[in-house]
């Protein structure tokens, strides 16, 4: 199973399938997050960050919602304290749901 690097310093994780489900292009996603590329990606997940503080993360989360992505079903933020000598990764659950039923 593949995985992506994540940051606990105001990071975001997005399900790649959600982009197609919500008709969000990679270009519009990158523009909303004001970045040229994800921190990391695999076939299932995109990871972004670190961003600079809770206020910036809240603004970016609002932009993702404006694109049509649904918080927690399609993306979520990652904020935790960790020492710099430790790295973290995330992977999609084997039987991950494909989003909420509308």
CATH number at residue 41: 3.30.70
Could you tell me if residue 12 is inside a domain? yes
- Give CA–CA dist 65/69, Å, rounded: 5
Residues facing 15 on adjacent strands: 45
Q: pTM of this prediction?
A: 0.87
Q: What is the mean pLDDT of each run of 10 residues along the chain (102 residues)?
A: 88 96 97 95 95 91 97 95 92 70 48
Beta pairing, strands 88-90 & 4-6: antiparallel
Could you tell me if residue 101 is inside a domain? no
pLDDT score, position 8:
87
Could you tell me if residue 99 is inside a domain? no
Could you tell me if residue 37 is inside a domain? yes
Q: Which domain holds residue 34?
A: 4-82
Q: Domain count of the chain?
A: 1
Two structure tokens written together for 72? 């927690």
Torsion of CA 51, 80, 63, 58, to 10 degrees: -90
pLDDT score, position 100:
52
Could you tell me if residue 91 is inside a domain? no
């Amino acid at each position: 199973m593949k995985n992506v690097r994540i940051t606990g310093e105001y990071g975001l994780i997005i399900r790649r399938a959600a982009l197609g489900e919500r008709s969000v292009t990679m270009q519009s996603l990158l523009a909303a997050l004001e970045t040229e590329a994800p921190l990391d990606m695999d076939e299932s997940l995109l990871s972004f960050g670190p961003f600079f503080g809770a206020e910036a993360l809240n603004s970016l989360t609002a932009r993702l919602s404006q694109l049509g992505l649904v918080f927690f079903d399609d993306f979520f933020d990652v904020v935790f304290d960790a020492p710099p000598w430790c790295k973290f990764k995330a992977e999609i659950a084997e039987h991950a749901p494909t989003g909420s039923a509308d």
